[in-house]
Amino acid sequence: MNDKPNNPPTPADFFNWLNQMVAPMANASATMNPNPAMSLDPLTFWKSLLDKNQETYAKFMQQMVGSPEFAKTLGQSANATASYRNMVRQAAKNYLEAANMPSLDDLSQLSEQVVGLDARLDDLTDTVSEDITELLERLVRSMESIGERIISLENRLQTVENIGSRLDKLENQLDQLNAKLDNLTPTNQNAAPRRASRSKKPTVNAVETEMGE
């Protein structure tokens, strides 16, 4: 507003600046169709004013934020209060230390340790659950292997049982053959009785003869 930075702005400077802001709105209202029905409704009047000019305002503001000067100002203002913030922060820290109370940095450090502890617990949980999962998988594989072996043993046992039952059948048949042979040779009463087929294998010729009959 004032070209001489060392002199404070005068009231005239202020009203000149205010007029520059209000002039577009005054021009817009002057071009509007005067409608007595709208004059008593401030919200509708204000809304119609804005509807007529919002495209202009939007474009103006977009150009403003897109200008290199604005970018420079924005960047400078982002760091402008840094020294003030540092001063306030240091003053607060000194006061809290004097009052033997924890500062923000102290609480932050404590929280960092808690966060680190939480991370370690999470890692430990993951490791343990992975180990448990691996153990369980190995256990399952072992159980499956044992199950397969049991099945194999059962099959072999079944085979042995089948062989046993066949042997029993053969034994019965041999006993029957022996009985028939005994019936066929009644004159040899003094001869030593034939032993059971279990201890003596029948001769092939006798069996063949018996089978032939």
Partner 1 sequence: MSGDATENNILGWERYNQMLRLASSWPEVAVGQSPKETIWSRNKARLYHYLPSNTQSQKYKTPILIIYALINKPYILDLRPGASLIEYLVKQGYDVYLLDWGKPGLEDKHLQLADYVLEYIPRAVKHVLQHANTTELTLLGYCMGGTLSVCYLALHNDAPVKNLILLAPPIDFSAPHLLRQWFDPKNFNLDAFVNDYGLIPAEAIDFGTRLLKPYQNFVQTYLSLADKLSDEQAVQSWLTMQKWVNDGVPMAGETFRQWVRDFYQGDKLATNELCLRNQRVDLSLITANLLNVVAEKDHIVPPCQSQPLMDLVSSRNKEQIILQAGHVGLVAGRDATNKLWPALNAWLASRSYGN
Using CB under 8 A, list all residues that contact partner 1: 36-38, 40-44, 47, 50, 54, 57-58, 61-62, 64-66, 68, 71-72, 74-76, 78-79, 82, 85-86, 104, 107-109, 111-112, 114-115, 118-119, 122, 126
Closer to partner 1 by CB, 10 or 111: give it: 111
Residue (117 or 150) nearer to partner 1, CB: 117
- Look at the block and give the residue holding tokens 């089948």: 162
Smallest gap from residue 134 Cβ to partner 1 (A) = 13
Q: How far apart are CA 103 and CA 115, in angstroms?
A: 18
Q: Minimum CB separation from partner 1 for residue 158, in Å? A: 38
* Comparison of 110 and 157: residue with beta carbon closer to partner 1: 110
Round to whole Å and give the CA distance between 207 and 187.
20
Q: How far is the C-alpha of 181 from the C-alpha of 23, rounded, in Å? A: 141
Shortest gap between Cβ of 113 and partner 1 (angstroms)?
9
CA distance 24 to 5: 28
DSSP string, 80-93: HTHHHHHHHHHHHH
Exposure letters 51-80 (e unless 16+ CB within 10 A, then b): eebeeeeeeeeeeeeeeeeeeeeeeeeeee
Judged by CB, which is closer to partner 1: 50, or 157?
A: 50
**Shortest distance in whole angstroms from residue 122 CB to partner 1:** 5
Closer to partner 1 by Cβ: residue 110 or 146: 110
